[in-house]
């Protein structure tokens, strides 16, 4: 950095001298070596080229190597990322296939469960109908038996009520004779 500063200073001196010459009456070159500092500038430029070449060359080669390393690292990371992306995409595809299998399995299980529930419900309905019909028949038989008993009881009461009025001695005698005749006499 110091070398560049000196070089810039020397260049500024030359420009200043040229400008002074132009102000004095025209453009011209000053060939006085001591006055123009030409020897110092030549020494600085030679030293700069001689020592600076190795220094700048070293810095530039280090910078170039660092850039090449960074590019190689970036390319390797790109390759690694592409491999990782391919693996993850494959895993995603496998997960989607597995999800489809699970979904199909769940749908099939739901259909089977639905069919079982419907069959069970149909069996329950049929059993309830049978129980209801059996209960109805039992109740109907009970009611019919109860009605028969009532009818029989009412008929007996009515017969008992009307029997004394209709049954006189002659009718009783005929009834007894008929009964004996039927039995075998």
Where is pLDDT greater, at 66 or 182? 66
Joined tokens for residue 141 = 């038989």
Alpha carbon of 65 to those of 61, 70, 144, 185: distances in Å?
Answer: 6, 8, 115, 149
Coil, strand or helix at 185:
coil
Residue with tokens 């075998």: 184
How much of the chain, in percent, has pLDDT values that exceed 90?
45
- Residue 6 neighbours by CB under 8 Å, 6+ apart: 44
Rounded-to-integer distance, Cα 75 and Cα 93, Å = 27
Rounded-to-integer distance, Cα 179 and Cα 163, Å = 17
Q: How many helices (H) and strands (E) are present in the chain, helices listed first? A: 4, 0
Q: Pick from 84, 8, 73: which is nearest to 45 by CA?
A: 8
Q: Which segments within the chain are labelled E, that is strand?
A: none
14 close to 41: Cβ distance less than 8 angstroms = yes
Packing angle, helices 2-24 and 38-166, rounded to 10 = 120
pLDDT digits (tens, 9 = 90+) for 148-159: 999 989 888 888
pTM for the full predicted model: 0.39
DSSP state letter for 32: -
pLDDT digits (tens, 9 = 90+) for 31-78: 666 666 777 788 888 888 887 777 778 888 899 999 999 999 999 999
At 17 the pLDDT is: 61
């Amino acid at each position: 950095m110091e070398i560049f500063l000196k070089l810039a200073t020397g260049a500024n001196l030359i420009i200043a001298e040229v400008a002074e010459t132009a102000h004095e009456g025209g453009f011209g070159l000053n060939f006085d070596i001591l006055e123009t500092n030409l020897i110092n500038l030549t020494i600085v430029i030679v030293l700069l080229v001689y020592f600076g070449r190795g220094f700048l060359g070293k810095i530039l080669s280090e910078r170039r190597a660092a850039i090449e390393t960074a590019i190689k690292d970036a390319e390797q990371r790109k390759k690694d990322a592409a491999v990782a992306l391919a693996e993850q995409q494959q895993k995603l595809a496998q997960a989607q296939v597995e999800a489809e299998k699970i979904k199909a399995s769940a749908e099939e299980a739901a259909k089977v469960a639905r069919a079982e529930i419907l069959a069970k419900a149909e069996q329950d309905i049929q059993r309830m109908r049978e129980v209801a019909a059996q209960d109805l028949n039992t109740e109907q038989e009970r009611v019919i038996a109860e009605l028969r008993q009532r009818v029989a009881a009412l008929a007996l009461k009515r017969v008992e009520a009307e029997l004394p009025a209709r049954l006189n001695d002659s009718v009783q005698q005929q009834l007894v004779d008929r009964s004996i005749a039927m039995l075998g006499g």
